[in-house]
Chain A
Amino acid sequence: MIRSLLSTALVFFGLAVSVFAQPPQQNEFVPIDKLPPSDQLPSAPLLITAYVFVWIATLVYLWTIWRRLAKVEADVRGLEQRRAAATRR
């Protein structure tokens, strides 16, 4: 009984040591010439973002022109109708 409890405790202790163990402390920095591929900044998202931004900016701007134009043209039509009604009277 005691032996099995001791062995279980030993296993848990061993697991805890391996889980919470700190990585070896660094004494110096070691330079490398090239980053490993996993650390390199990928180009594709930057490229796609740039192109998508150009498209979205253009389409949004065209939409704002269309909206402002619709408002002005509605005002012109309303004013012309008002004037036509006034001349009929």
Chain B
Amino acid sequence: MKKIFVPLLIVTTAMFAYAPVMIANAPYESTMGLVQKIFYFHVPSWFAMFTAVFLCGIESAIFLFRKKPSADRLAVAAGEVAVLFGLMGLVTGPLWGRKSWGIWWPWDARVTMALLVELTFVGYLLVRKFAGPGSDKLAAAMAIFGMFNVPFVYMSVNIWRTIHPKTSVVPTLPGGMPGPFWFCVAAFLSLCALLITARLHLENQRAALDALYLDEE
């Protein structure tokens, strides 16, 4: 674990230390001004959340169909990290929206679906913790269900009329904005990998402890 963790920690810390400099040097958006700079943390946090959700869903499918306990451990780690990044997105979004749209929470298709995905993974963690024997399989099914919601969240702004910007905004970012944005995306993905590595180590240690208890019996 230390082999990956320490280099990841150094890279992530360096990236997060430099990110504010890049964001400060990025140009202001014409209608939103300063508050638009939340974009450089808000959207990357969703990138990281969706990455963790896909990892959790795929590993859950491997656990369900191939019965690999190591896949389940990785799924739990990714599921918990997905909830963290989802929370970041759900907190930074309203802070941006309050200034840009005049409301904290618009209840449009995008934010409502994003909230549902977040709640699905909160449910995943609650089922794992409190549902007793067999909860790992039930939670794995929930994770797969949650993963299939992600494309709908992404496409929701194009399908339904919402006040969220369309998905065409990111590919067409004007000069000066793509550099800081993709740098922040890389920083968040690096942070996501770092947290999943740390959380997986915890899960592996728990599995080792369970094995020791079983040996003793």
Contact = CB atoms under 8 A, between A and B. Distances in A.
A65 B87 CA distance: 17
A80 B216 CA distance: 10
Main SS of the interface on chain B? helix
B209 A75 contact: yes
B88 A53 contact: yes
A5 interface: no
A30 to B, nearest CB: 20
B198 A53 contact: no
Contacts of A49: 95
Interface in A34-83: 41, 43-44, 46-47, 49-51, 53-54, 57-58, 61-62, 65, 68-69, 72-73, 75-76, 79-80, 82-83
A51 B92 CA distance: 8
A33 B20 CA distance: 34
B209 A50 contact: no
Contacts of B67: none
B216 A50 contact: no
A50 B19 CA distance: 14
A50 B104 CA distance: 13
Given A43-B99, A50-B96, A72 B35 contact: no
Of the four ranges (under 10, 10 to 19, 20 to 34, 35 or more), the interface on chain B belongs to 20 to 34
A77 to B, nearest CB: 10
Contacts of A79: 209, 212-213, 216
B84 to A, nearest CB: 5
B164 interface: no
Interface string B188-202: 000100010011011
B206 interface: yes
A54 B208 CA distance: 32
A46 B101 CA distance: 13
A43 B212 contact: no
Contact of A50 (B33, B38, B208): B38
B91 interface: yes
Given A53-B88, A54-B92, A79-B212, A47 B202 contact: no
Given A46-B98, A46-B99, A79-B209, A54 B84 contact: no
- Give me the 4 closest cross-chain CB pairs, A-B, nearest first: A43-B34, A43-B35, A50-B92, A46-B95
Interface of B: 20, 33-35, 37-38, 41-42, 45, 84, 87-88, 91-92, 95-96, 98-99, 191, 195, 198-199, 201-202, 205-206, 208-209, 212-213, 215-216
Interface of A: 41, 43-44, 46-47, 49-51, 53-54, 57-58, 61-62, 65, 68-69, 72-73, 75-76, 79-80, 82-83
